[in-house]
């Protein structure tokens, strides 16, 4: 972007204390923007974090040192009350209901590109910027601007999935300076500029919380509730008549999206668990059940009966389905001009979790809800997670998996 002499655009960079946001700030400064660094403190409780994987104080200090090195203003803001209300409480509610949320997606929608954006605008900013590995392009047609959210060029770091709930207004105010770079190039720039974060490891775990012991985190509000683990055989009759035909209509997709239904009487008791709300479909670790030829995987959880259903091996039929459902109210179009009307469908590429390779599929709009079918069966389709839809490199829509 070329910067004119009459106006120097102001951008507030979310400095996290990591190398990516540090380099994002440097690149914007080098391009001629008026840059302000802002660190968001969103979490106080260190009791559930593992060692010092993501201590906010260290990150804040690193962000301050980077800002001083670059010669830009720096502030710290405490958004912990909002973060608890919009993210943490949401997580607890979702797990309690037997769904598996993605707090990082919500964190971007609710915190970084909503609350943080409003703070930035209050400081007179034209834009906010982050260290996400994604890109934005803007096109105009008849005076109307359309903002396109594109994958990051580094295939191993693409983070467009985490931004799948952003809207056109948020994208209009957003910049992603490192989206066209490889991670190795980002570190090279940081080294060349003498930034303290150049060799810093990438943060892991929940957005702004860090790497946590998830059961301990959930147990802050979701108390242990011992129940039974039931193994379902791969040869159970419920798997004898799955939907295996071609998916050519929305009715076909709806049938294929129906999940397996289990009762305790269908399987063999394998032991006890500490609470069905602590587990998720596809989970292998944490069951503490041995003595089976193949590893046990969670194929379903029932928080009403407090039962976990498991099956042997990652090819267990209970793990695989051809389609999923997205409720109409939980379907979000990053590109609203591409939204489907009832009866319409669109070929897309999709992923149902971060880092999953894109899968070929079709999004169908029924009279009420949406259905996403895949050319190949998908493993561990999980309620509460986000499915992101792409056309080529562009992320066009996303939705919460209802079943």
Active site residue 207: yes
Instruction: Compute CA distances 74 → 11, 36, 67, 105, 398, whole Å.
Output: 12, 6, 6, 26, 34
Residue from 54, 164, 207, 238 carrying the catalytic annotation: 207
Q: What is the CA radius of gyration of the chain?
A: 23
| Three-state DSSP state, 55 | coil
229 exposure class (CB count in 10 Å sphere: 0-12, 13-18, 19+): buried
Task: Residue 106: name the closest of 125, 91, 126, 123 by CA.
Answer: 91
Distance separating alpha carbons of residues 248 and 382, to the nearest angstrom: 24
Residue 81, C-beta contacts closer than 8 angstroms, at least 6 positions apart: none
Give the pairing type, strands 34-41 and 10-14.
parallel
- CB 296 within 8 Å of CB 310: yes
**Locate tokens 């998720």: which residue?**
280
| Three-state DSSP state, 144 | strand
Residue from 54, 107, 134, 164 carrying the catalytic annotation: 107
Task: Residue 308: name the closest of 229, 227, 403 by CA.
Answer: 229
Residue 169: half-sphere exposure toward Cβ, Cα within 13 Å: 6
At residue 117's C-alpha, the angle toward residues 114 and 120, to 5°, is 155
Instruction: Compute CA distances 10 → 4, 122, 167, 169, 328, whole Å.
Output: 13, 12, 21, 17, 38
Q: Which residues are catalytic?
A: 107, 207
């Amino acid at each position: 972007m070329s910067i004119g002499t009459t106006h120097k655009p102001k951008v507030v960079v979310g400095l996290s204390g990591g190398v990516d946001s540090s380099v994002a700030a440097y690149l914007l400064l080098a391009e001629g923007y008026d840059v302000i660094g802002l660190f968001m403190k969103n979490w106080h409780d260190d009791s559930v974090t593992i060692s010092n994987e993501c201590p906010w104080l260290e990150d804040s200090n690193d962000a301050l040192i980077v800002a001083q090195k670059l010669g830009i203003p720096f502030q710290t803001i405490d958004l912990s009350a909002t973060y608890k209300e919009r993210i943490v409480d949401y997580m607890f509610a979702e797990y309690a209901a037997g769904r598996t949320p993605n707090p990082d997606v919500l964190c971007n929608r609710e915190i970084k590109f909503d609350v943080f954006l409003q703070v930035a605008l209050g400081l007179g900013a034209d834009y906010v910027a982050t260290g996400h590995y994604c890109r934005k392009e803007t096109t105009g047609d008849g005076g109307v601007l359309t903002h396109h959210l594109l994958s990051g060029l580094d295939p191993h770091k693409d983070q467009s999935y985490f931004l799948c709930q952003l809207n056109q207004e948020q994208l209009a105010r957003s910049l992603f300076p490192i989206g066209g770079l490889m991670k190795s190039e980002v570190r090279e720039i940081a080294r060349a500029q003498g930034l303290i974060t150049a060799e810093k490891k990438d943060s892991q775990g929940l957005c702004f919380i860090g790497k946590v012991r998830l059961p301990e985190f959930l147990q802050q509000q979701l108390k242990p509730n011992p129940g039974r683990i039931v193994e379902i055989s791969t040869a159970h009759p419920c798997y004898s008549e799955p939907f295996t035909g071609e998916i050519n209509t929305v009715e076909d997709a709806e049938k294929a999206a129906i999940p397996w239904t289990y009762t305790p009487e269908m399987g063999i008791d394998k032991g006890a668990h500490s609470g069905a709300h602590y587990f998720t479909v596809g989970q292998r670790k944490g069951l503490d059940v041995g003595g089976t030829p193949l590893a046990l995987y969670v194929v379903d959880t029932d928080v009403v009966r407090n039962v976990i259903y498991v099956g042997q091996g990652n090819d267990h039929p209970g793990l695989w389905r051809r389609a999923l459902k997205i409720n109409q109210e939980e379907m979000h179009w990053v590109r609203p001009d591409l939204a489907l009307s009832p009866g319409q469908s669109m070929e897309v590429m999709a992923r149902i979790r971060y880092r999953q390779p894109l899968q070929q599929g079709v999004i169908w709009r029924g009279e009420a809800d949406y259905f996403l079918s895949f050319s190949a069966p998908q493993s561990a389709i999980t309620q509460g997670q986000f499915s992101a839809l792409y056309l080529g490199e562009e992320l066009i829509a996303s939705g919460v998996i209802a079943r």
